[in-house]
Amino acid sequence: MTLRLGDTAPDFEQDSSIGKLKFHEWAGDSWVVLFSHPADFTPVCTTELGLTAKLKPEFDKRNVKAIALSVDPAEKHAAWISDIEQTQDTVVGFPIIADEDRSVSSLYDMIHPNASTTATVRTLFVIDPAKKVRLSLTYPMSTGRNFDEVLRVIDALQLTDGYTVATPGNWKDGDDVIIPLTVQDPEVLKQKYPKGFTAARPYLRVTPQPNK
C-alpha cells in the first residue's frame, strides 16, 4: 500500500530488539519517527542510528519516540547495536524492528523493487500522537538522511498544530512565520497575532513566531 499524508499509520505486531512490539501501543501519546534500513551491519545505517541515539534529548523535548526497522532478525540487531554503540560512542535507546518476513516493510511500502527486491530503501515517517502520517521522506540506499531536517520539520508541525501559522522556506525554530490566507478578518488578526505583522504583499504576511 502507499501511505499518504493524513493517512492513519498502520498498526502491526512484530519482533524487535526489545522483544515483541505492538506499534500503536508502544507509540502511546507520543510523536514517532519510524525509519527503515536496508540491512544490519551496513556503514551508512550505522552512522544514522548513532546520530538518532545522540539526538534522544532533542526527541525527548519534542515528545518524540524513534524506532528503526531492518529486515534482519532480532539476534542480529543485538550484535549490531553493540557495534553501533562502540563505533558511534553512544547508547542506542530505541528499538529496531526485526522485519524478517518483510510484513512491515510491505505495509509501509518500504521496498521499492526497482531499487532492490529484498532490502528496504531509506524511508522515514513522522507520525503524530493521533497516529496520522505527517511526513514521509525516501532516500536512496547510498545517501544518509539529514536528521537536522527531521527535527526542523517536527518543530514546524508542532508549531503549526498549535497556532494558525505556516512556516516559510528554510524556517528554523525562532524565525518569523507566515499568516495563512484563510485569516482575513481584522479583529481575528489582532487576536491571533498580537505581535503584529508585516505584509510585503496582501497575500504575504509575516509575523514573529507566536510561542517565542
Longest C-alpha distance within the chain, in Å?
Answer: 61
Burial annotation 102-133 (CB, 10 A radius, 16+ → b, else e):
eebbebbebbeeeeeeebbbbbbbbbbeeeeb
**Cell numbers representing residue 100 in the block:** 524478517
Q: State the Cα–Cα distance between residues 21 and 14, nearest whole angstrom.
A: 5
**C-alpha dihedral (85, 76, 144, 156), degrees to nearest 10:** -80
Catalytic option among 9, 32, 45, 64: 45
SS3 202: coil
Say if CB 212 and CB 201 are below 8 A apart: no
Q: What DSSP character marks residue 19?
A: S
Contacts of 89 (CB under 8 A, 6+ apart): 50
98 labelled catalytic? no
Q: Rounded to whole angstroms, how far apart are CA atoms 69 and 104?
A: 9
C-alpha cell at 47: 552512522
Residues designated as active site:
45
